[in-house]
Amino acid sequence: MFKNILNTFFTKIFTAILSLVIVVINSKVLGASGVGIISLIILSVAIYLLIHEFFSGAFVYFVPRNNNFQLLLIAYLGVFITILPFSILYYIVPLAPLKYFFYVMALSVIFAFSNINQLILLGHEDIKNRNLINLFQSVTVFLLLLYFFFVEKKITVYSYIYSLFAASLFGMIMGLIKTKKYIIIYSFSGISILFFKVIRLGAYNALSNLIQKINYRLSYYFIEHLLGTAALGKFSVAVKLSESTWLAGQSIASVQYARISNVKDDKKAVELTLVLFKITFLISLVSIAFFAVLPDSFYRLVFGVEFSGVNEIIWVLAPGIVALSSNMILSHYFSGMGLYKINTYASAIGLIFIVFFALVLIPAFHLLGAGIAMSFSYIASMAYSVFRFIKYSESSFSDLLIKPNDFIVFKYFLKQKLLRNF
pLDDT of residue 263: 67
How open is the CA angle 236-16-333, to the nearest 5 degrees? 90
pLDDT of residue 9: 66
Contact 167, 141 (CB under 8 A): yes
pLDDT of residue 382: 93
Q: How confident is the model at residue 297 (pLDDT cuts 50, 70, 90)?
A: confident
| Cα–Cα distance measured from residue 308 to residue 300, given in angstroms and rounded to the nearest whole number | 6
- The total number of structural domains in the chain stands at 1
**For 207-217, how does the pLDDT look when each residue is reduced to its tens digit (9 = 90+)?**
877 787 777 77
Neighbour count for residue 200 (Cβ, 10 Å): 12
Answer whether residue 325 shows pLDDT above 80. yes
Q: Which domain holds residue 150?
A: 2-421
Buried b (16+ CB within 10 A) or exposed e, 8-28: bbebbeebbebbeebbebbbe
| Cα–Cα distance measured from residue 74 to residue 198, given in angstroms and rounded to the nearest whole number | 8
Residues of the chain with pLDDT > 90, as a percent, come to: 13
pTM (two decimals): 0.69
Phi/psi at 403 (nearest 5 deg)? -115, 160
182: exposed, middle or buried (Cβ count in 10 Å: 0-12, 13-18, 19+): middle
Sign of CA dihedral 309, 310, 315, 316: positive
Buried b (16+ CB within 10 A) or exposed e, 316-329: bbbbbbbbbbbbbb
In single-letter form, the type of residue at position 176 comes to L
Q: Rounded mean pLDDT of the chain? A: 82
**For 13-47, how does the pLDDT look when each residue is reduced to its tens digit (9 = 90+)?**
777 788 878 888 878 787 777 877 888 888 888 88
pLDDT of residue 13: 75
